[in-house]
Amino acid sequence: MPAPNAIQQVQEIPLQIVGGSNFGRFAKINNSQTWNFIVSDNFLVPYAGYETALILNSNQKGRGIYTTFNGDLMVCVIGGNVYKVQQASNGTLYSQYIASLDTSEGDVYIAENNSAQVCITDRVYVYVYNWSTGAFNKLTNAQFDYTIYKSPGYVSFQNGRLIIACEGTFYWVLSGFNDALDWPNTGPAKPAQIGSIQTKPTTTKAAVPIPGGGNNLIVMGTNVAESWQDVGAALFPYQRGTTYNIDYGCLNASSIAELDNMIVWLGVNEQSGPVIMYATGSTTKSISTDGIDYVLSNLTNPENCTGFLFRQDGHIIYQFTFLDDNISYAYDFNTGLFFNVSDENLDYHIARQVVFFKNDYYFVSLDGGDVYRFGTQYTDAKYGTGETAIAKEIPRIRITPPIRLPSQRYFVAKSLGFTIENGQQNIKTLIPVSTNTLSQIIATESYVEITTELGNPIGVEANATQTEYVVNYSEAVDLSISRDGGETFGSSWRLNMNPTGKRKSRFIYQRLGIVNDATFQLRFSGFGRFVCTDGILEIYQ
């Protein structure tokens, strides 16, 4: 009796399509990455896109942006120019040039008091713009002693006073009460306006009020941060906490961001490379994994960085960029996941700082002098306004964790399937392809070629040139497979999304070949949104 046919036992292996960037110590360990997505309700959903809202000075770069709710306007610094930006009744933005700074590049810091005075520092001078009167002043050495307090840097506001961190010194100084023109100067001594960082030998980077923390302040140096509290003392209003300090300073004050009850910054100290720190009240933690610590430790110039916090559909996200290393990351405090974010060329994300104004987020760009709207209502990157606007596709990529069997044996990947939102707007085009059909060889019914006496095949005349059409959709997903642990990927296999209105959500690739270490890369191509969840890989041996 013949042996029965062997039955191939198909196994279903969960495939983690929903996830963040893992930053495995080596690609072989885990090279999973997520570009320009975040995770929401166990689905991958798009990270915020952007569009140009206002063109200010395209030959310069954005340096700072600030919203004053009292003045109902934004203050933007583009290159060396300061602009007032407001919204018209039809929702469009318009601007007014205010004045010029003495510098045209580098970080600027902006804060406001309750006297309509907006204080701008560029690490060289202190400037004060009064949005009520329109007055703009660069403080002289008689008003702010630059010889003693060096480089005025990070500026903030608490309890009626503006606070400036004096970079290159251990000082941080207070303005007069709601008076941005009153600072320690070469005139009479003003000890009630001068503080100093004390815990370690260091220089001051920032003085940051704790959001929701009442009178509490964190003063950051290069390698330590101290807790201070405004107790209203006569000699100097702040008193340093004697039982609590943070053993990490600040890499760059432009990485500091505040939202809700949280402060986030890129920290460093004498024994540690860059780490992401955050403080909520008296609790301070670092956001750390082996992978992200390895990434940060291998940056060429981590000090050239910037960061901001914003809220995307309920998710509190810290986006931070290292310009010299051409990379941007986002950390979602809701899910505890990291993501890669980028512009349309997979270079660093162009946003420097984000503010909320008139129910929209806006940012100034690291690469140009425009103001952009930012949010999930935008699924692409749009540059320019009106008829000259150009939309560019934001690359959205998911590289899955590797699939390996404990036995290390080879297996056949029968299919890969997952659920994806389908039937959204999807433009169908027919691409013409010209063909010239070659002569057809004459053969018998048994497919034996008919030849001449000399053995040459007999053919019919060639057909005339004809045009065929290939159907193409604007939205598609490309799959490529790495068979060497995520080091290299093969050619891609495209599946078009369903046409508009056809909402069947099953998406499946068949016959993926033999492999014993598979990493899958999905590239979501198109200008619309992509929403998908985890999948199943069917295999057999």
Query: Of 259, 425, 274, 241, whose CA–CA distance to 332 is shortest?
Result: 259
| Calpha distance 352→79 (Å, rounded) | 13
Q: Is the pLDDT at 475 greater than 90, yes or no?
A: no
The one-letter amino acid at 154: Y
Q: Which residues of 99-132 are buried (b: 16+ CB within 10 A; e: fewer)?
A: bebebeeebbbbbbbebbbbbbbbbbbbbbbbbe
Give residue 4's pLDDT band: very low, low, confident or very high (50, 70, 90): very low
**Would you state the pLDDT for residue 64?**
96
Mean pLDDT of the chain: 88
Average pLDDT value for residue range 102-121: 97
| Calpha distance 381→47 (Å, rounded) | 11
pTM of the prediction?
Answer: 0.88
Q: Which fold is adopted by the domain 11-43+399-427+474-540?
A: Jelly Rolls (2.60.120)
CA distances for 450 relative to 439, 440, 444, 461, 462, angstroms: 14, 12, 7, 15, 17
The alpha-carbon radius of gyration of the chain (Å, integer) is 30
CA distances for 221 relative to 85, 174, 193, 414, angstroms: 33, 17, 18, 57
Average pLDDT value for residue range 327-349: 96
Give residue 422's pLDDT band: very low, low, confident or very high (50, 70, 90): confident
| Calpha distance 519→5 (Å, rounded) | 32
Give residue 63's pLDDT band: very low, low, confident or very high (50, 70, 90): very high
Pairing status of strand 390-392 against strand 381-383: antiparallel
| Calpha distance 168→418 (Å, rounded) | 55
Do the Cβ atoms of 239 and 251 come closer than 8 Å? no
Give residue 464's pLDDT band: very low, low, confident or very high (50, 70, 90): low
When mean pLDDT is compared over 24-33, 78-87, 187-196, 442-451, the highest value belongs to: 78-87
| Calpha distance 388→91 (Å, rounded) | 19
Do the Cβ atoms of 18 and 530 come closer than 8 Å? no
**Would you state the pLDDT for residue 128?**
98
| Calpha distance 508→498 (Å, rounded) | 12
Average pLDDT value for residue range 425-443: 62
Question: Nearest 5°: phi and psi at 124?
Answer: -130, -50
Each domain of the chain, given as residue ranges in start order, spans 11-43+399-427+474-540, 48-102+304-386, 434-466
| Calpha distance 481→488 (Å, rounded) | 8
**Would you state the pLDDT for residue 5?**
44
**Would you state the pLDDT for residue 449?**
54
Q: Is the pLDDT at 253 greater than 60, yes or no?
A: yes
289 Cβ contact list (under 8 Å, min separation 6): 23, 338
| Calpha distance 351→367 (Å, rounded) | 9
Pairing status of strand 109-112 against strand 117-121: antiparallel
**Would you state the pLDDT for residue 157?**
97
Q: What is the pLDDT of residues 220-249, one digit of tens each?
A: 999 999 999 999 988 899 999 888 788 999
DSSP 8: P
Give residue 447's pLDDT band: very low, low, confident or very high (50, 70, 90): very low
| Calpha distance 444→462 (Å, rounded) | 19
**Would you state the pLDDT for residue 284?**
87
H/E stretch holding 82: strand 81-87
**Would you state the pLDDT for residue 126?**
98
